[in-house]
């Protein structure tokens, strides 16, 4: 999964109707394909889904979803955020949200909710946003 921070907000998407977990809210990204490493996956997925050229800067977190999909979360930088071009086959909308705004979506994927919970406890080193654990 690709995590991009811009001015204290996170890039999130609403999935299209034609993919697994249709219309759900999540970070852009997806499954590792055969022969791929997790960095290659996030680069490919953000190019496919959002038309972005990204550089994974550091691994944030890993999880295995309830449907047995192994995901690795990477913080990424993008070459040009103005060039976002969502692939309508995979993404119906994108938006920039705070972590709390993301958590307020009832249709946020469980793995994304778990990622944000780990971040809020200080277990995920997300650069560009202060976790509630580190405030004060």
Per-residue pLDDT of the chain (136 residues; tens, 9 = 90+): 999 999 999 999 999 999 989 999 999 998 888 899 999 999 999 999 999 999 999 999 999 888 888 889 999 999 899 989 999 999 999 999 999 999 999 999 999 999 999 999 999 989 999 877 766 5
Helix, strand or coil for residue 134?
helix
Question: Residue 60: its pLDDT value, please?
Answer: 96
Structural contact between residues 14 and 91, judged by C-beta atoms closer than 8 angstroms: yes
The angle at the Cα of 56, spanning 54 to 62, to the nearest 5 degrees, equals 130
Given a contact cutoff of 8 angstroms between Cβ atoms, the answer to whether 28 and 1 are in contact is yes
For residues 57-95, b (16+ Cβ closer than 10 Å) or e, as one string? eeebbebeeeeeeebbbbbbebeeeeebebeeebbbebe
Q: What are phi and psi of 110, to 5 degrees?
A: -55, -40
Residues paired with residue 54 on neighbouring β-strands, in sequence order: 78
Confidence (pLDDT) at 101:
97
* Predicted pLDDT of residue 56: 98
Q: Do 60 and 3 form a contact (C-beta atoms < 8 A)? A: yes
CA neighbor of 3 nearest in space, from 67, 55, 69, 40: 55
Give the number of other CB atoms < 10 A from CB of residue 126.
Answer: 22
User: Can you read off the two tokens belonging to residue 97?
Assistant: 């949200």
| Predicted pLDDT of residue 135 | 63
| CATH architecture, domain defined by 2-134 | Alpha-Beta Complex (3.90)
């Amino acid at each position: 999964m690709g995590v991009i921070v811009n001015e204290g907000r996170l890039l999130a998407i609403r999935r299209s109707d034609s993919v697994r977990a249709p219309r759900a809210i999540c970070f852009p990204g997806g499954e590792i394909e055969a022969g791929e490493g997790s960095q290659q996956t996030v680069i490919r997925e953000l190019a496919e889904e959002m038309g972005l050229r990204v550089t994974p800067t550091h691994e944030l977190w890993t999880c295995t979803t309830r449907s047995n999909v192994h995901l690795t979360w990477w913080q990424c930088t993008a070459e040009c955020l103005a060039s976002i071009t969502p692939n309508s086959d995979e993404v119906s909308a994108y938006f920039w949200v705070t972590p709390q705004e993301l958590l307020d979506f009832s249709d946020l994927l469980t793995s994304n909710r778990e990622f944000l919970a780990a971040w809020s406890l200080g277990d995920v080193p997300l650069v560009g946003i202060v976790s509630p654990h580190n405030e004060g």
